Amino acid sequence: MADPSSLISGGDNVHLTTHPDHMEVVQNAPSWKASMTPSGEYVRAQSAFRHFVTAEGSSGFVAEPGRYHLYVSLACPWAHRTLIVRKLKGLEDIISVNVVDWLLQEVWSFNGQRDGCTPDTVNSCATLRDVYHLAQPGYSGRVTVPVLWDKKEKTIVNNESSEIIRMLNVEFNAFCQTDEQRNLDLYPVELRAEIDAINEWIYRDINNGVYKCGFARSQEAYDNAVINLFAALDKVEVILSEHRYLLGSQLTEADIRLFTTLVRFDMVYVTHFKCNRKRIADYKNLWGFVRDIYQTAGIGETVNMEHIVNHYYQSHRTINPFGIVPLGPVLDFNAVHERGKEQNV
C-alpha cells in the first residue's frame, strides 16, 4: 500500500504548492520523498490545472448554472475553502459536489456507502485518479482535491483551491440566490494588497506550517517549523485582539483560509502533527475567532469533524501506525464568542 503520509491536496496561490496528506501516490508520479530537503524539511509541488471560469466566458469557460462540479474531501482544509465560499455565495444549486471517501489508502476513492461520502455522480468513476485520466489521458502527476470539473467540456478546469475560491467569489454572482450573497466580496479591490500580504505569511507558517511540523523528517526541521508556527499564531492573536477579522470589520478570504486550519488544530494537529506547544483553545482571540467563523452563515454545516479526525488518524500510518483515533478533545464550536463586541466593530 502506498504511504498515505505522502498524500497531497490542492495548494495555494502564494507559493503554488500542494500539501502532503491529501494527494494520492500515482504510479510514475514524482515521489513525495524526492521533495524532502537534506535537513528533513518537506517542500511542495505545483498544481497542474490552472484554467479559469469567468462570468463573460473570455477564458473559454463561461459561468453557467449546472455546468460545473466540485470534487472534494471533507477532511482537506484546502477543499474545505471551496465549500465555505460556495455556501456563503449561495451556489449550492449552481455547482454540484461529490465527496471522496475519508479513508485514503492507495487512491482517493468514491464510496457511497460511507456516511457523508458519495459516489461519482458525474463521471461514474471509481477513483479520483480516473477523473484526472478523463481530463488528460495518461496523466501521471499528482491527483489532488479540490477539483473543479466542467461537465460540458468533460475536463478539469482547475485544481488550485486558492484560485477556485476567487472564481466562486465573483464569477457566478449572476446566479447567487440573494442580493446579500451577490454583494458579498471576499476579495475586494481596496483590500487585495493587504489580503495577499497576510495570506502569504499565514500560508507559509500556519496553513502549511502544521504540515511542516507533522511531516518533518529531522528534529531540526520540526523545531524550526514549530517555532515559526507558534510565532505566527501569536501574531494573529494580537491582530484579532484589535479587529474582529484579520483585515478589520470585514470578512475576507484571508479569514476563510485561516479558519480551515484552525478548526482542525486542536482536534488533529496538536496531537497528530505534534503542534502541542499550545492549543487554539488556549488563545482567547483565536478561539473566539474560530467560533465566530463557525457560527457564520451556515459555515458550521461545512465542517465534518468525523471525516477530519478519521482521515488524519487512520490514513497516516507512518505517523500513527495502528490507526488509533483519539476520543477527544471535546470542543463546543457553538459556544458564545462575543467577537465584534470586544473589538468594537
Q: What is the pLDDT of residues 237-271, one digit of tens each?
A: 999 999 999 999 999 999 999 999 999 999 999 99
> For residues 144 and 82, is the Cβ–Cβ distance under 8 A?
no
Residue 149 cell numbers, joined: 470539473
> For residues 158 and 167, is the Cβ–Cβ distance under 8 A?
yes
* pLDDT of the residue at 25: 40
Tell me the C-alpha distance between 210 and 7, whole Å: 15
Confidence of residue 23 (pLDDT cuts 50, 70, 90): very low
- Percent of the chain at pLDDT exceeding 90: 82
* pLDDT of the residue at 46: 56
Encode pLDDT of 289-314 as tens digits: 999 999 999 999 999 999 999 999 99
Active site residue 211: yes
- Percent of the chain at pLDDT exceeding 70: 85
Tell me the C-alpha distance between 299 and 287, whole Å: 16
Does the structure show a pLDDT above 70 at 180?
A: yes
Long-range contacts of 56-65 (CB under 8 A, 24+ apart): 61/150, 61/153, 61/157, 63/167, 63/171, 63/172, 63/174, 63/175, 64/152, 65/93, 65/94, 65/175
Top CATH class of 189-301 equals mainly alpha
Tell me the C-alpha distance between 110 and 117, whole Å: 7
Most confident of 15-19, 21-25, 31-35, 336-340: 336-340
Give Cβ neighbours of residue 282 (< 8 Å, ≥ 6 apart). none
The mean pLDDT value for 316-330 works out to 96
Encode pLDDT of 31-59 as tens digits: 444 466 666 665 545 568 999 999 999 99
Q: Which residue has the higher pLDDT, 134 or 18?
A: 134
Q: Which residue has the higher pLDDT, 288 or 40?
A: 288
What's the distance, CA 328 to chain centroid? 22
pTM: 0.90
Does the structure show a pLDDT above 90 at 66?
A: yes
* pLDDT of the residue at 319: 95
DSSP assignment of 109-170, as one string? B--TTSTT----TTT--SBHHHHHHHHSTT--S-EES-EEEETTTTEEEE--HHHHHHHHHH
Termini Cα distance of the chain: 52
Tell me the C-alpha distance between 109 and 301, whole Å: 23
* pLDDT of the residue at 11: 64
**Which one of 68, 76, 275, 294 is the catalytic residue?**
76
* pLDDT of the residue at 345: 57
Does the structure show a pLDDT above 60 at 109?
A: yes
Distances in whole angstroms, Cα of residue 225 to Cα of each of 97, 185, 210, 215, 275: 34, 33, 8, 10, 9
Does the structure show a pLDDT above 90 at 88?
A: yes
Active site residue 125: no
* pLDDT of the residue at 17: 35
Domain boundaries, the chain: 189-301
Mean pLDDT for the chain overall: 90
Cis check: omega of the bond before 146, within 30 degrees of 0? yes
> For residues 25 and 32, is the Cβ–Cβ distance under 8 A?
yes
The mean pLDDT value for 275-279 works out to 98
SS3 state at 318: coil
Among the listed residues 270, 273, 162, 269, the one whose alpha carbon sits nearest the alpha carbon of residue 213: 273
Q: Which residue has the higher pLDDT, 10 or 323?
A: 323
* pLDDT of the residue at 105: 87
**Which one of 68, 211, 269, 313 is the catalytic residue?**
211
* pLDDT of the residue at 341: 78
